[in-house]
Homo-oligomer: A and B are copies of this chain.
Amino acid sequence: MADQKLDETATGVYAITPTPFTDAGAVDLDSTDRMVEFYIECGVSGLTILGVMGEAHKLTQEESVAFTKRVLAVVDGRIPVIAGVSSPALGPMAALTEQAMEFGAAGVMVAPMSGLNTDEKIEGYFHAVCNALGDTPVVLQDYPPSSGVWFSVPLLNKLFAELPALKMLKHEDWPGLKKITQFRAAEARGERRRVSILTGNGGLFLPLELARGADGAMTGFAFPDMLVQVCELHAAGDVGRAQDLFDAYLPLVRYEQQIGIGLAIRKETLRRRGVLASPTIRAPGPKLDADDNAELEDLLQRLERRLNELGEIFPM
């Protein structure tokens, strides 16, 4: 897949990466290198950088560029990398996109700017975006709790039919199971080409989403290896085993669902796994205290025990 562009056939797990910082808050390029290797070893199909969970909005432009360049250099074409380029203005979005693609990105992800409160405005916006980005492959992020923008299935069908640059739906509307079913139904009826659906929300509904027709996950849960395994088991038809494995991790998946502090939990877990040198979130941001750390420790020990019962390996 080296140096290829993202297309509608994408499947599996695209890990949303955090941006590693040192304890002092500087971008940590050593941890970045280690993190890329970690994700590849976990078996992910791709990476997504500079999303909300990557604290993209807390980076200077120079830092974003440097981080993007480093990630793509380390990946070196082994897996596709998608860069988040959401921006309130199309000019800067196009500039960011151009640079990411030059460094070797496979595509970009765009969440709608805030204030798009009718189908008409959303449609106008994505036409303008695709016009500004040329033939760059685009992932449409459907994440209302963060964007405040809501997509109906008829609107998504229209957008994907009209805009060939849209290759993938990053689906994290909530609740969203029926949405996947309805979106796939339009394809089954031949109304438009089949596109890729990867799901987010920290993976909270992953087995159910796969059963509904998702192609995989794009999320940042601190055990991407589990997400990969669940997708593979599901693809192999071993749906029950996929669910058993997932359920073992569910207490932790749920624990990461705490808005704000969830990212701190995720970064601390990645620190414990030897990936990040520091769990730092840029100020202003939350930090884990002793109670939180004890709770996380306990959940990890319970996970280990449960995996042992299942005959699975605890990957820490």
Contact = CB atoms under 8 A, between A and B. Distances in A.
Interface of A: 25, 55, 57-62, 88-92, 95, 113, 117-121, 124-125, 128, 132, 144, 150-155, 174-175, 177-178, 181, 204-205, 208, 211-212, 243, 247, 250-251, 254-255, 257-262, 282-284, 289, 291-292, 295, 302, 306
Contacts of A121: 152
Given A117-B144, A262-B175, A254 B204 contact: yes
Query: Looking at chain A's contact residues, is the secondary structure mostly helix, strand, loop, or mixed?
Result: helix
Contacts of A144: 117
A175 to B, nearest CB: 3
Contacts of A261: 175, 178
B208 A174 contact: no
Contacts of A90: 282-284
* Identical chains bound together, number: 4
Given A61-B61, A120-B152, A247-B250, 18 more contacts: A55-B89, A57-B88, A58-B91, A58-B92, A60-B91, A61-B62, A90-B282, A90-B283, A90-B284, A117-B144, A118-B119, A119-B119, A119-B155, A174-B259, A175-B261, A181-B291, A247-B306, A250-B250
24 contacts: A25-B91, A58-B91, A59-B92, A60-B95, A61-B61, A89-B284, A91-B283, A118-B119, A118-B152, A119-B119, A119-B154, A124-B284, A132-B283, A175-B261, A175-B262, A178-B261, A178-B289, A208-B255, A211-B295, A212-B291, A247-B250, A247-B306, A250-B254, A254-B254
A125 B155 contact: no
Contacts of A119: 118-119, 152, 154-155
Given A175-B258, A175-B260, A178-B291, A88 B58 contact: yes
Nearest to A25: B91
User: Which 8 A/B pairs are nearest by Cβ-Cβ distance?
Assistant: A175-B258, A58-B89, A118-B152, A120-B152, A117-B150, A119-B119, A90-B283, A57-B88
A62 B204 CA distance: 40
